Amino acid sequence: MSNYIIRLEEKKDYREVENLVRESFWNVYRPGCSEHYVIHVLRDDPAFIPELDFVMEQDGKLIGQNMFMKTVIEADDGRTIDVLTMGPIGITPELKRKGYGKAILDYSLEKATEMGFGAVLFEGNIGFYSHCGFDYASKFGIRYHDLPEGEDASFFLCRELIQGYLDGITGVYQTPKGYYVEDSDVEEFDKAFPPKEKLKLPGQIFD
Ligand SMILES: CC(C)(COP(=O)(O)OP(=O)(O)OC[C@H]1O[C@@H](n2cnc3c(N)ncnc32)[C@H](O)[C@@H]1OP(=O)(O)O)[C@@H](O)C(=O)NCCC(=O)NCCS
């Protein structure tokens, strides 16, 4: 890892960041990917937090990004608890597994903490996120929306930014609506990018 900076995303970066996210997620979770369109849509969502929309730059090139959205836990006692969700987060393919992902994540979590947010919850692989203080959300008593009881919830992670923020709370986390996009819209949006081959690969979790 060398001479990188982390800064807020600017309007002029939008297309480069979308391409970076496309490169980073392509064929990882499904043939092709939708995340470049997801960020395109999320930036206009009222839940989007521009002060927590980061890019990582090295030698004038963008090599990573991460963003946050506001959402809530609907607590079993009737309260609505404000929390953050996160992502997409991506590192350019040629620099994966060199520590850049952890660096931008640690930095952005520090900024979210400084802004006074209490907790971050989202879907991810504990293998990476445990390095940045995340644990299973079930350990905090938080359930994933629409997931039947008894189903594997190990993809659903949580980190408190204010220690004890979720003490005494049980409830259901809601993914912001903006993350759900139509396949046909993704297809249309993708046409503006350089052609890339969609492949079915082992380890993908969606068709
Ligand atoms: C996931 C991602 C952001 C991680 O960033 P990165 O720079 O590659 O990861 P780091 O080098 O900072 O990883 C730190 C540690 O986390 C763990 N880790 C990283 N990626 C992992 C993965 N995919 N699965 C399991 N553990 C992982 C490793 O222990 C790693 O240390 P090691 O390489 O010395 O073993 C990046 O690989 C990426 O962009 N992937 C494609 C898009 C994606 O999956 N985004 C996340 C969606 S939830």
- Residue 107's domain comprises 4-176
Does residue 167 sit within a domain? Answer: yes
Number of domains into which the chain is organized: 1
Whether residue 124 has its Cβ less than 6 Å from ligand 1: yes
pLDDT of residue 206: 85
Q: How far is the CA of 38 from the centre of ligand 1 (A)?
A: 20
pLDDT of residue 190: 98
Does residue 190 sit within a domain? Answer: no
CATH code assigned at 110: 3.40.630.30
The ligand 1 atom at the shortest distance from the C-alpha of residue 98 is 11
Q: Which residue's alpha carbon is nearest to atom 15 within ligand 1?
A: 128
Does residue 193 sit within a domain? Answer: no
The ligand 1 atom at the shortest distance from the C-alpha of residue 124 is 48
Does residue 202 sit within a domain? Answer: no
193 burial class (0-12, 13-18, 19+ CB within 10 angstroms)? Answer: middle
Does residue 97 sit within a domain? Answer: yes
Does residue 75 sit within a domain? Answer: yes
159 pLDDT band (50/70/90 cuts)? Answer: very high
The ligand 1 atom at the shortest distance from the C-alpha of residue 122 is 48
| Predicted confidence (pLDDT) at residue 139 exceeds the cutoff of 90 | yes
Separation of alpha carbons 95 and 99, rounded Å: 9
Does residue 197 sit within a domain? Answer: no
Q: What is the pTM of this model?
A: 0.95
CB 160 within 8 A of CB 119: yes
**Cα 182 to the center of its chain, rounded Å:** 18
